[in-house]
């Protein structure tokens, strides 16, 4: 590698020299083209029960699920989940209207606040971009109403989605990410498949390494 020029110039020159060597080695054959991606049939084959597959995969990912009829039932469902597991009745809500705008006064025992987390919130409640059936994955994004800290700092993470947000594949979910005016991705898009875990201590699988120890998904039959 030449030692003159900027690092950028030197790297590009070295890469291009390599690409010329590749061309020589191919003896006139064309450079390898880009293959067409393949989307597995698991969640796309005709007749697949996408919602059913999502529920199975969510359980496989060691997350829990609750189903309610309407958005008005969500606050009570959250309160019930916390009470049943002996978790503190205090939640930090995404400011996003899909969560913030739920009738939280219907769960008067629940202490609610809105905004990002600084690491003092036992439980967060957030919306999602979509839920992916193929692996039971929640797709989340950053925005002014959905701060990323709520996805990682609390001990329990409750995600509220409407049934219509359950899609088959990652590609379906990515198409629903809300982009900026210039078409840019948001600062972060998170795929979350179950609660945090690690097998770094003696290969023993333990839940709750750094991110949430519990992931609980509430599916609303109607719209949010």
Site for other proteins in 7-46 (CB under 8 A): 7-8, 10-12, 14-25, 31-42
Q: Which pair of structure tokens corresponds to residue 3?
A: 């030692």
154 belongs to the binding site for other proteins (CB under 8 A): no
Based on the number of CB atoms within 10 Å of its own CB, is 61 exposed (0-12), middle (13-18) or buried (19 or more)? middle
Q: Nearest distance from residue 73's CB to other proteins, in Å?
A: 28
DSSP string, 47-83: T--HHHHHHHHHHHTT-EEEEESSGGGHHHHHHHHHH
Binding map of other proteins across residues 104-143, x = CB under 8 A, - = no contact: -----------xx-xx---------------x-x----xx
Q: Which pair of structure tokens corresponds to residue 132?
A: 């992916």
User: How far is residue 53's CA from residue 57's CA, in Å, rounded to a whole number?
Assistant: 6
Among 6, 69, 84, 86, binds other proteins (CB under 8 A): 6
37/108 with CB nearer other proteins: 37
198 belongs to the binding site for other proteins (CB under 8 A): yes
User: How far is residue 216's CA from residue 68's CA, in Å, rounded to a whole number?
Assistant: 13
14/85 with CB nearer other proteins: 14
The number of residues that bind other proteins (CB under 8 A) is 82
106/210 with CB nearer other proteins: 210
Q: Nearest distance from residue 131's CB to other proteins, in Å?
A: 13
28/33 with CB nearer other proteins: 33
Residues in 40-79 that interact with other proteins by CB under 8 A: 40-42, 57, 60-61
Residues 66, 77: contact at Cβ < 8 Å? yes
Q: Which pair of structure tokens corresponds to residue 210?
A: 């750094």
Q: Which pair of structure tokens corresponds to residue 118?
A: 């600084």
Q: How many CB atoms lie within 10 A of CB 222?
A: 13
193 belongs to the binding site for other proteins (CB under 8 A): yes
Q: Nearest distance from residue 47's CB to other proteins, in Å?
A: 16
Q: Nearest distance from residue 208's CB to other proteins, in Å?
A: 7
Sign of CA dihedral 116, 145, 61, 223: positive
Q: Nearest distance from residue 92's CB to other proteins, in Å?
A: 11
């Amino acid at each position: 590698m030449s030692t003159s020029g900027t690092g950028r110039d030197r790297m590009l020159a070295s890469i291009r020299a390599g690409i010329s060597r590749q061309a020589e080695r191919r003896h006139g054959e064309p450079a390898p083209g880009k293959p067409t991606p393949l989307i597995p049939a698991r969640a796309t084959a005709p007749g697949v029960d996408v919602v059913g597959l999502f529920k199975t995969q969510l359980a496989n990912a060691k997350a829990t699920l609750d189903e309610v009829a309407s958005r008005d039932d969500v606050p009570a469902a959250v309160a019930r989940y916390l009470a049943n597991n002996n978790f503190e009745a205090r939640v930090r809500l995404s400011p996003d209207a899909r969560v913030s705008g739920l009738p939280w006064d219907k769960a008067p025992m629940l202490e609610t606040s809105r905004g990002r987390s600084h690491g003092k919130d036992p439980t967060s409640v957030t919306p999602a971009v979509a839920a992916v059936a193929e692996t039971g994955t929640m797709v989340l994004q950053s925005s002014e109403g959905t701060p990323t800290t709520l996805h990682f700092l609390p001990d329990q993470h409750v995600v509220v989605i409407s049934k219509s947000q359950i899609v088959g594949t990652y590609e379906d979910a990515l198409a629903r990410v809300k982009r900026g005016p210039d078409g840019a991705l948001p600062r972060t898009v998170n795929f979350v498949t179950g609660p945090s875990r690690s097998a770094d201590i003696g290969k023993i699988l333990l839940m709750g390494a750094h991110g949430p120890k519990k992931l609980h998904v509430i599916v609303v039959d109607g719209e949010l």
